[in-house]
Structure 1
Amino acid sequence: MALIHCDFFSEALGLNTSMKVILPQETTNQIGMTGKKAKGPYPVLFLLHGLSDDDSAWIRRTSIERYVSEMGIAVVMPQVHRSFYTDMEYGQQYWTFISEELPAVARSFFPLSNKREDTFTAGLSMGGYGAFKLALRHPDRFSAAASLSGVMDIAGFESRSGEPYHDYKLIFGNKEVAQSDDDLFTLLKKVNSSSGEKPKLFQCCGTDDHLYEENKQFNKACAETSFDHVYEEDDGQGHTWDYWDEKIQKVLNWLPIVKKEE
């Protein structure tokens, strides 16, 4: 695999930002790494970080590079700070960046497929929310999305710990988030009632996670739709990297990657 760090100027954000990118590489001389022969354009997974992390988190805390080495897939990991993948009321336009600018920039730099069948997204915690928001707002672009211990109830996030979440007002201002396009439950219903394509959804959470109850509620909401939806809950698991390192492997095996002829 080739691991690339990219610094670039974002027009949407009006500032310099960064992303990490893993690209397929056939190799015979890397110890323990075989790689896979693959022709571009490559299928691509947009892999999103959590609230306290950055574009390096998945690389530093899991073995994602090794896990994808024989899959012939590219992985794009952007930096969005604490934005919840949203155009902030008092801050930067991170939704515009992640949904419009990032895919265009990444595809201009690297041979990445722009086909829906080759485009996926996944994330943990805040990134799980971002991944499902991407796929549910743009079901025409993403064929699959995975949320690992995701924030599913963004409308209730402000007061979850009993005190207002200090960045919430910076992100959403006084906006009524429930019933809006920032609310995953609302987006799920909207896409389900449409006649268009629906992304496959993978959702998991540990029973000891502080986000467990809202993940159960989202799973219940999915069960009332026609979505192809996989839900897994794991006894005794919390909000930890050990759990996400294990589950991202399952997500990768679950992705509906279309095999290309050599």
Structure 2
Amino acid sequence: MGLVNYSFYSRVLLEQVNIAVLLPTYNLAHPEKSLDEVYRKGQKFRTLYVLHGGSDDCTTYIRNTDIERYADEGQFAVVFPEVKLSFYCDMAYGEKFFTYLSKELPLVVQSVFPLSEKREDHFVVGNSMGSHGAFKWALRCPEFFNAAGGMSGVSGVEELGFFCPMGSTNNPVFNAFGSVEEYRESENDMKFLAKKLVKSGRPIPRLFSCCGTEDQLTYEGSKDFAEYAKQIGLPLIWEEGPGKHDWDFWNPWLKRIIDWMGIGVAE
């Protein structure tokens, strides 16, 4: 795989931003392929957007998981955005990271890199805060994605209890969403978005959520959302297994989700 660390000026955020991109290259596992076959002009790769968790950055998955090997095996591209501690929001008190993520970023990467523009070739996955971002993006922009997966945090922020320690304006949850009243039934409220999508009749991406049973931070909230999805008729696969809120859980489940998505099948 080729690794590109790419910086560009974001018109939405009005600042330089960083992303990482993995792209298929010549693979020693298939030495029989010629350079013309590997670097075929005009080819467009299926793309997995990988969203980092809170306080992480665009390099975190590369440093903590086997994502490069998974992508190499499947010959798909991976895009790693970086959004600080924003919860992938157009923040109540901060920058418009959701607009950047959903509007500007795809335009940039599809024009600069050989990435497919087809809905069936777009996938997204995230962990913790990134799972909130992945599902929010998929629920708000369902025509863009084939499938979305979230690990340890697919839930409403309120159900996860993140509003409980409010009281200080120097609080990332407050900065992202404002007050709990402002959050409810907003474009950041996961349950509101899910119900709205089900009623809309729009195409619904395939959805997968998982969490470790020893994850004291997000297990109950994630399970609650899975039950809510079933109640309203949102097609969501929910799985759980032993594990905590850490990379020992996320790395193998990342592979599980990639296999479930079906993205890891080379053309």
Confirm or deny a common fold (TM above 0.5).
yes
Q: CA deviation at 1:89?
A: 2.1
Partner of 1:159: 163
Letter of the structure 2 residue corresponding to residue 67 of structure 1: Y
Q: How has the CA–CA distance of structure 1 residues 117 and 225 changed in structure 2, closer, same or farther, with 3 Å as cutoff? A: farther
Distance change in 2, residues 1:224/1:256 (3 Å): farther
Residue segments in structure 2 that go unaligned for 5+ positions in a row: 32-36
Gaps of 5+ in 1: none
> Whose helix fraction is larger, Structure 1's or Structure 2's?
2
Q: Of residues 214, 222, 225 in structure 1, which corresponds to 2:221?
A: 214
Contact 2:154 2:225 in 1 (8 A): no
Would you say 1:9 and 2:35 are equivalent positions?
A: no
For the Cα contact (< 8 Å) 2:258–2:264, is it kept in 1?
no
| Partner AA of 2:23 in structure 1 | L
**CA separation of 1:252 and 1:29: change in aligned 2, threshold 3 A:** closer
Note if contact 2:73-2:264 (Cα within 8 Å) is conserved in structure 1: no
Shift in Å at residue 192 of structure 1?
1.0
Structure 1 residues 166-185: aligned runs within 5 Å: 166-174=171-179, 176-185=182-191
The alignment covers a number of residue pairs equal to 256
Q: Hey, what's the Cα distance between the residues in 1 that align with 2:234 and 2:38?
A: 33
Q: Deviations over 1:97-132 (max 9, x none)?
A: 101011111111101111111111110000000000
Q: In the alignment, is the contact (CA less than 8 A) between 2:157 and 2:163 conserved in 1? A: no
- Paired residues for 1:173-252 under 5 Å: 173-174=178-179, 176-209=182-215, 210-235=217-242, 237-252=243-258
Do the aligned partners of residues 89 and 102 (structure 1) sit closer, same or farther apart at CA in structure 2, a change above 3 Å counting?
A: same
Which is further off, 251-260 or 132-141? 251-260
TM-score, normalised to structure 1, is: 0.90
2:98 corresponds to 1:92: no
The alpha carbon displacement at 1:173 in A equals 2.6
User: Would the aligned equivalents of 2:74 and 2:266 in 1 still touch at CA under 8 Å?
Assistant: no
CA shift for structure 1 position 233:
1.0
Q: What is the identity, as a one-letter code, of the residue corresponding to 2:199? A: S
Matched, 1:24 2:46: no
Q: Secondary structure at the match of 1:155?
A: coil
- Kindly indicate whether the alpha-carbon contact (under 8 Å) linking 1:117 and 1:257 is maintained by their aligned counterparts in 2: no
**Which has the larger displacement, 12-21 or 149-158?**
149-158
- Shift of the 252–260 alpha-carbon distance from structure 1 to 2, 3 Å rule, reads closer
RMSD: 2.3
Q: Distance in 1 between matches of 2:254 and 2:10?
A: 28
> Which amino acid is the alignment partner of residue 201 of structure 1?
L
- 1:2-28 CA-partner distances (Å, limit 9, x unpaired): 111001111111111100101111322
Identity of aligned residues (%): 39
TM-score of the pair, normalised by structure 2? 0.89
Residue matched to 1:142: 145
Query: Residue 111 of structure 1 aligns to a residue in which SS?
Result: coil
